[in-house]
Amino acid sequence: MVNYDMKRLILLLLLLFLASCNNDDKIVKSRESEYLTDFTINTTRKGHKEWTLLAEKAIQSPGDSMIVIFNFNLTFFKQDSFDSYLKADSGLFYPDRGDLYAYKNVFVLTKDSVELRTDSLFWNNSEKVLHAPGEILLKQSGMLLKGKDLTSRSDLKEIVIKNVEGREKI
């Protein structure tokens, strides 16, 4: 019974769609979102690279100040040299501020081989601070730390973590 009702609903919606397409007077043209592939933004400060954002895909709706990004990498630099790398499945980028929210499979790797894994992370560009509000896993020099609510610079050298558990890696 459910399958028959679903088929009828789908058929009805399809007929309504086709009927509306035949009447040009009733078609409302909407502004499309901008869809980009191989999206890249480079920033500099005082002539030096600050960070580079590379995304496989990016979508921005008209009038919207944020850009939705997918499969992206954010590389941080100090004096034009690699400092750290942030990778995630998706995110929200605010080009007017340079802020970024990263979601799902978030991974940070520093030049000193410190690794951070979490499900969500916020980059505050004006303060140059990373904040991971949820659970985190941090690997550094044979140590494994678990915790919640991490705050740090992009190089992960000065870290604040709440509810920390640690152990030496085996």
**Domains, the chain, ordered by start:** 35-168 (2.60.450.10)
Measure Cα distances from 163 to 142, 150, 152, 156 in Å.
20, 10, 15, 17
User: pLDDT, tens digit, for every residue of 18-39?
Assistant: 544 544 443 333 456 677 778 8
- Distance CA(119)–CA(135), nearest Å, equals 7
∠ Cα 123 124 126 (to 5°) = 140
Residue-wise pLDDT tens digits, 106-162:
999 999 899 999 999 999 988 989 999 999 998 988 888 889 999 988 888 888 888
Is 129 within 8 Å of 152 (Cβ atoms)? yes
Give every CB contact of residue 62 below 8 A, 6+ residues apart in sequence: 31, 32, 33, 34
Cβ atoms within 10 Å of 68's Cβ, excluding its own: 17
- Claim: this prediction has a pTM higher than 0.75: no
